[in-house]
Amino acid sequence: MNATEDHADPRAGAARVPGSSGPSHLDQLEAESIQIIRETVAECARPVLLYSIGKDSSALLHLVRKAFFPAPPPFPMLHIDTQWKFRDMYALRDRAARAAGMDLVVHVNPEGLAAGISPIVHGTARHTEVMKTQALRQALDLHGFDAAFGGARRDEEKSRAKERVVSVRLPGHRWDPRAQRPEFGTLFNMGRGPGETLRVFPLSDWTELDVWEYIAREGIEVVPLYFAAPRPVVERDGQWIVRDDERLPLRPGEAVQMRKVRFRSLGCFPFTGAIDSEADSLEAVLAEMRTTRRSERQGRLIDFDPASSMEQKKREGYF
């Protein structure tokens, strides 16, 4: 018996809610994302999946696999390694690439590495600029990628709400909000002028809750850091910072304590805040998501630069 005949199997894709006539919102979002992914691959010479190992990347990778099954996705994955990700993240990265049958390209900014750029010494802004923004530009240029898939969603942040699904980057990877093309439904112009590249966001219309519901429905593996567990933390700037390795020096008066925490959003460990939580399973995380009154990026310290800092970073080539 194949899966679709078994309506008890939520992974059948056509899961229907009793009393509703059409496909569920997850079915619609999935179909639209797959359409966007296939269109990009058909129209671009050298696409790449920008993979950050977070939950959105995991959902996106799953959609990419579905779009091309039974073939493996016909493009590589790219991880911009800032060297300060959680250890659990590196482990999942290598496993996920193998499972998908995709080539994994890991890029570290060699100049940043040589200069020993560290968030502890140089601050988060400088570290992000050198090891993330500059590194991404380097990697795209080095491999000649003309379209990069990203897992950004419009509900994450105000300036993202106006981002296109297919976002044109000018030569030098600059983002000019005024130069973006109007989009009409799923009819996308993927044309590229000289030196232009595309960022493609198949999860644009998804919310954080949609992503979690999809992860649960499809049985997608995510980093265990999303689930609550006792972890060594220090309190810093009003956030719980998990001390993932010894590179995080303690400030005067700081003490490491064990607390049951989890992450809603994962960045580099020295500046990603964890939240107090008892949600140690997918069901518990979903339940927490449905009642929380806090936004997802509350733990991302890089957002708390002056207003419109995300917009500013995007203009410079941040994803």
Partner 1 sequence: MAAAPAVGGGLVRVLACGSVDDGKSTLIGRLLYDAGAVPEDHLRTLAADSVRVGTRGGELDYALLLDGLAAEREQGITIDVAWRQFATPRRRFVIADAPGHEQYTRNMATGAAAADVAVLLVDARKGLLTQTLRHSRIAALFGVREVVLAVNKMDLVGLSQEVFERIAAEYGAFASRLGLVRVTAIPLAAADGDNVVVRSARMPWYPGPTLLERLETLEPADASHEGGFCLPVQWVNRPDADFRGYAGRVVRGRIRPGDAVRVLPGGRETRVARLVTLDGDLDEAGAGRSITLVTADEVDVGRGDVIVASAAPLEVADQFEATLLWLDDEPLLPGRQYDLKIGAQRVRASVNPLKHRIDVDTGGRLAAERLELNDLGVGELSLDRPVVFAPHTEQRELGRFILIDRQTQRTAAVGLLNFALRRARNIHWQAHRIDREVRARQKQQQPCVVWFTGLSGAGKSVIANLVEQRLVELGRHTYLLDGDNVRHGLNRDLGFTVQDRVENVRRVTEVATLMADAGLIVLVAMISPFRAERAQARERVTASGAAFMEVFVDTPLDVAEARDTKGLYARARRGELSNFTGVDSPYEAPASPELRLDGAAGTPQDAAERVVAAVLALRATGALP
Judged by CB under 8 A, the chain residues 158 through 197 that form the site for partner 1 are 158-162, 177-178, 180-187, 189, 191-193, 196
Figure out which of the listed residues 8, 19, 116, 253 binds partner 1, where binding follows CB under 8 A. Answer: 19
Taking a C-beta distance cutoff of 8 angstroms, is the pair 83, 119 a contact?
A: no
> Among 107-115, 122-130, 222-230, 282-290, which window interacts with partner 1 (CB under 8 A)?
282-290
Contact between 199 and partner 1 (CB under 8 A)? no
Residues 6+ apart with CB under 8 A from 218: 11, 62
What sections of the chain are H helices per DSSP? 25-43, 55-68, 87-100, 110-114, 119-122, 124-128, 135-143, 208-218, 282-291, 309-315
C-beta atoms surrounding 16 within 10 Å: 13
- Cα separations (Å) of 262 from 178, 274, 290, 300? 38, 5, 16, 14
> Among 91-99, 132-140, 276-284, 289-297, which window interacts with partner 1 (CB under 8 A)?
289-297
The CB-of-156 to partner 1 minimum distance in angstroms stands at: 10
Figure out which of the listed residues 52, 58, 204, 265 binds partner 1, where binding follows CB under 8 A. Answer: 204
**Which residues, numbered 63-122, are part of the site for partner 1 (CB under 8 A)?**
65-72
Contact between 41 and partner 1 (CB under 8 A)? yes
> Closest CB to partner 1 among 34 and 104?
34
> Closest CB to partner 1 among 19 and 116?
19
Smallest CA-to-CA distance from 216 within 28, 10, 70 is with 10
Sign of the dihedral defined by the CA atoms of residues 4, 75, 214, 269, in that order: positive
Contact between 281 and partner 1 (CB under 8 A)? no
Contact between 293 and partner 1 (CB under 8 A)? yes
234 three-state secondary structure: strand
**Which residues, numbered 212-251, are part of the site for partner 1 (CB under 8 A)?**
213
Contact between 56 and partner 1 (CB under 8 A)? no
**Which residues, numbered 133-152, are part of the site for partner 1 (CB under 8 A)?**
none
The secondary element (H helix, E strand) that includes residue 107 is strand 104-107
Strand partners, 169: 197
The CB-of-249 to partner 1 minimum distance in angstroms stands at: 28
What sections of 158-235 are H helices per DSSP? 208-218
The CB-of-102 to partner 1 minimum distance in angstroms stands at: 13
Figure out which of the listed residues 224, 280, 292, 305 binds partner 1, where binding follows CB under 8 A. Answer: 292
Contact between 17 and partner 1 (CB under 8 A)? yes
Figure out which of the listed residues 38, 107, 236, 243 binds partner 1, where binding follows CB under 8 A. Answer: 38
The CB-of-157 to partner 1 minimum distance in angstroms stands at: 8
